[in-house]
Amino acid sequence: MQDLFGDDAAGAPRRVTLGPGAVLLRARALPDERQLLAAIDEIVAAAPFRRMVTPGGFEMSVAMTNCGAAGWTTDRHGYRYTPLDPASGQPWPPLPGLFWSLARGAAADAGYHGFAADACLLNRYEPGTRLSLHQDRNERDFSQPIVSVSLGLPAMFLFGGNKRNDKTLRVPLRHGDIVVWGGPSRLFHHGVLALKDGDHPTLGRQRLNLTLRKAL
């Protein structure tokens, strides 16, 4: 049994299969930590985190922003990718080369060769915030995987199946972990439980998540 649930033991696997086509690469982003955080600061200076509104009229608890050729947004009119940041009317900040290359490398490690991200959604969780079970299906090409980078406080990730009420696996995600999924699990439902309070050495009382996609 792989160590999905407990604390990292010495020699715990750095690569864990979560489901068909879905792989957790523990600590895969750690060598790039400092440059990632510097790039995030630049993005957020140009396109600040904001709480978006769902088509149903609810303000999301998780704050979001984007970089790349298109950014994921939601408002009263629906979920979609837009080339401009609706808050500024300007293009989203460019996708940093490091994001592109890290996503390409992690995808290749998981068996997806030639991944070329063109968009990145940044999520910011503060204690108590959560992301309810959803599918990522606003991208044009479901043959391409999504690469997800976790930074800051740990979170409990829920990884389900094609049906909303399929049983979910609980996966603790920690600073530096990368999850790659595509293929048969590309449209699996997933979510994040309410973030527990804590104080991360570099990020303080928050968790950041980057999801790199080929949206267009």
If the CB atoms of residues 47 and 107 are measured against ligand MD6, the closer one turns out to be 107
Interface residues for ligand MD6 in 92-131 (CB under 6 A)? 123, 131
What is d(CA 39, CA 98) in angstroms, rounded to the nearest whole number?
8
If the CB atoms of residues 85 and 136 are measured against ligand MD6, the closer one turns out to be 136
C-beta of residue 178 within 8 angstroms of C-beta of residue 118: no
Closest distance of CB 209 from ligand MD6, Å = 3
If the CB atoms of residues 136 and 139 are measured against Fe ion, the closer one turns out to be 136
Closest distance of CB 123 from ligand MD6, Å = 5
The option from Fe ion, ligand MD6, none interacting with 146 (CB < 5 to 8 A, set by class) reads: ligand MD6
- Binding Fe ion (rule: CB under 5 A), the pick from 21, 22, 106, 136 is 136
What is d(CA 8, CA 99) in angstroms, rounded to the nearest whole number?
26
What is d(CA 140, CA 213) in angstroms, rounded to the nearest whole number?
10
Closest distance of CB 40 from ligand MD6, Å = 14
If the CB atoms of residues 80 and 197 are measured against Fe ion, the closer one turns out to be 80
SS3 5: coil
Task: Give the CA distances from residue 139 to residues 10, 78, 180, 196, 204, in Å, rounded to whole numbers and listed in that order.
Answer: 38, 14, 16, 30, 32
Closest distance of CB 110 from ligand MD6, Å = 12
What is d(CA 128, CA 72) in angstroms, rounded to the nearest whole number?
23
If the CB atoms of residues 92 and 188 are measured against ligand MD6, the closer one turns out to be 188
What is d(CA 216, CA 81) in angstroms, rounded to the nearest whole number?
9
* Residues lying near ligand MD6 in the complex (CB under 6 A): 123, 131, 136, 146, 148, 157, 179, 190, 192, 209, 211
